[in-house]
Every structure is written in structure tokens, then in C-alpha cells.
Amino acid sequence: MTRVPRILHLHSTFDTGGKELRCVRLINEWGKQVDHAVVSGDPERRGAARLIGNKARVSWPKFPSLRGRPSPGRLAGLAKAMAGYDLICTYNWGAIDAVMAHTVFADAYKLPPLVHHEDGFNEDEAVKLKWRRNWYRKVALGRTAALVVPSLKLEDIALNVWSQPRSRVRRIPNGIDTRAYAAPARRDLLPGLVKHKDEFWVGTLAGLRAVKQLDVLVRAMAQMPAEWQLVIAGEGPERAALLAEAERMGVEHRVHLPGFVEQPQQLVGLFDLFALSSKSEQFPISVVEAMAAGLPVVAPRVGDIGSMVASDNGPYLVEPGDEGALASALGRLATDPAARRRVGQANRQKARDEFDERRMIERYRALYWGLMENNPFAPG
């Protein structure tokens, strides 16, 4: 392909979540090799855009709303807006109507191949998938060139719940620059918060949303030794509720919410323990970041977390919803520095062996470029 290919990305929002940050990483990696058109269904939520590098070729085209009833007229409008690209990338349930429009009108509008990416579910499907949505997904995904998932659990859902053929489903685990997490962190990195030499940090990277159940970690602090602090890096609507819970538990002086951190590799090294409390995860990139930094992980056994961490970390994973077990696992590691070192070293090695971003980038490039080179409706 001699000219610069054009890829259209359709997101319900372009906030700083896992799928958006991965999309930005690929955009920055390919620089001027690709023209990217990025759509955020909510134009006010484009926080991840500030992480796009200067060398990237990115536009923000006007596009029909991704929300609404899937009437034939609306789907036709979505399909028409997708014409003229070399590849269409859609992300999660929020873009599923565009996937349906592609399936129904691909021939009429000579649409390019479409790759749908499923990274997880919103709060309304965190515990149980909705059967109407499952039916809609089955139909909508009928003409996709590929369905990309990062986790074993999502791969199983794609094959056995959404009835997708094995040849269409691609599992590409998320990856990071693991070596970037080896550098020592500055104790005064966070504005207004300095890590003192006589204290330890339980840390997490998470959106402040109900599905993350971060109040569980706040309550666990009441059982942790006095020299331990909780640092939750992220933004979201639950901030006030978390601060109120910390005050109710009498640990407000030990709970810190510094907001979103653009470069987590500069922060995670300050943590002594990494913790998750979510009731729904698939392949949380924050766990890989913690592993790369040489940290033990305390978390529920949700999504792929059990297979992600090193075997030495297994005893510190708990059943979902068992708040007492999570607090107990944190307490055991808090009082056992030798175990923290041993588990952390095993996690670091596994992250470098299995979850480095070079492998992820190569697999996405092979998939995207293979489809674009075989696109019969490539423009010009």
C-alpha cells in the first residue's frame, strides 16, 4: 500500500480508560504511517486525546450519533459515514450500532473491513450479561473481519455466547513497556503528597466508578498497620463518596486521591502493594503495570487476573465479593516484607516474558495491515 492508509476509530467516549490508552499507544507508535480519524460519541469526554503525540496524524471528523434506536434510516446514515476509509475499528457496546450498520449496509456503501474490539462491560453488565444485548451482538458481528478481545474470559464469551467462529476471534493481550517500570520513583512525584521513608503505600490505578468498589479498599485501611497509606490514582464520579467513607472509617488522613496520573510508570514504583477491588475486570492493564514494577497484587479472582499474575501471587487472590478475605490478604503482605519481595520479583519476570507491548503492537499491526492490504474497496 503506497499511499497513507486511513483508519476510522469509533468510541462511545475517548476518556483515559484502558481501550483508549491502548488506541493512543498504537496511534503514537505508527506516527505518520497512518491517517487516524477518531470519533468520541460524547465529544466532551476526550481526555485521552491529550496523550496523542505530535507526530501522529489524527483528525476528529463529524459523525452521526452512536446512540439511538437502530432504525434502518439511522443505520444507513452510520454506514454512509464509514465509507472511504481503509479500515474501521469499533470499541465495546457503545459502538455496536456502527457494527450493525456495517453488517447491514457494507455492500451497498462498499465499506472497508471492520474490526470490533471488546474490552469489558459497563456496570449494567458487570455481573450478568443481558440476553437482548447478546442477541444483538450475535447479529451485529455477522460481517466483522475480526473480533479482538484481550482476555481468556472474553474469548470464551465471544465463542460460546456470541457464537462467533474461531477464525474471527483474535485474543491479543494488552501490553506495556515493561522496562519503563523498573526506574526508581521520586517520592515527591505527586503534588501535595510526599512518600515519607517511614511509611508504606497500598496503591491502585482505577477510575473512580462504582464497579471498581474502591470503598472496599478504604474500609480495609482500618485494619492495616498505622504506617500504611492508601493511594488511589484516577478520576471519576465516586470521588466524594470515597472521601466520605474514609472519614466515616476514621482513616481520612491515610487515604489519598491524587487524580489521574498520565505516566503511571513514574508512580507505581512508589507503591509497596498493589490492590484491586473490582467486581468486574477482564484483562486489567493496571495489574500488568504493577507486575512490571515488581509488586505483589491483591485482588479478586475476576477476569484473567488469576492467569495473569505469577503462581507465587496466587495465595493473595480472593473470591469476588469477599471483602474480609481481601483485607486479610492485604494484612498478610503488609507484615511480610520478604513475601512482598519474592512475589513482586516473580510478577516482574512474568510481565517481561508475556506482557511486553512489543508483542501486542506487532500483533495489531499484522491484523490491521493484513486487512487493509486486502480491502477491495480501498479508496484511490
Residue 119 DSSP SS3: coil
pLDDT at position 120 is 81
Domain with CATH 3.40.50.2000 in the chain: 6-175+357-373, 178-354
Residue 263 Cα distances to 205, 253, 317, angstroms: 11, 25, 26
Q: 365-369 contacts: CB < 8 A, separation 24 or more?
A: 365/30, 367/115, 367/146, 367/148, 367/170, 367/172, 368/7, 368/87, 368/89, 368/115, 369/1, 369/5
pLDDT score recorded for residue 143: 95
Q: Given CA atoms 336, 327, 266, 36 in this order, what sign does their dihedral have?
A: positive
Comparing C-alpha atoms, which of 6, 41, 42, 36 is closest to residue 24?
36
Residue 291, amino acid? M
Q: Which of 18, 13, 16, 4 is nearest to 38 (CA)?
A: 13
Q: Say how far apart CA 308 and CA 310 lie, in whole Å.
A: 7
Q: What is the pLDDT of residue 123?
A: 67
Main-chain phi, psi angles of 371, to 5 degrees: -70, -40
Residue 339 near residue 312 (C-beta atoms within 8 A): no
Chain segment 105-135, per-residue pLDDT in tens: 999 999 999 999 999 877 677 668 889 999 9
**Which candidate, 315, 317, 313, places its Cα nearest to that of 350?**
313
- The alpha carbons of the chain give a radius of gyration, in whole angstroms, of 21
CA–CA dist 159, 204 (Å, integer): 32
pLDDT of residue 126: 64
Residue type, 272: D
DSSP string, 19-73: HHHHHHHHHHHHGGG-EEEEEESSTT--GGGGGS-TT-EEE------S-S---HH
Which among 185, 208, 300 is positioned nearest to 255, based on CA atoms?
Answer: 208
Other C-beta atoms lying within 10 Å of the C-beta of residue 340: 20
Q: Give residues with Cβ within 8 angstroms of 110, minimum separation 6.
A: 83, 377
- Residue 281 pLDDT: 85
Q: Which CATH superfamily is domain 6-175+357-373 in?
A: Glycogen Phosphorylase B; (3.40.50.2000)
| Cα 269 to the center of its chain, rounded Å | 20
Contacts for 152 with CB less than 8 Å, ≥ 6 apart: 171, 304, 307
Q: Provide the CATH number for the domain formed by 178-354 in this structure.
A: 3.40.50.2000
Helices (H), the chain: 18-30, 72-81, 96-105, 131-140, 152-160, 215-220, 239-249, 285-292, 305-308, 323-334, 337-354, 357-373
pLDDT, position 269: 93
Q: Which residues of the chain have pLDDT under 50?
A: none
Q: Which residue from 39, 48, 36 is spatially nearest to 12, judged by alpha carbons?
A: 39
**Distance of alpha carbon 360 from alpha carbon 341, whole angstroms:** 28
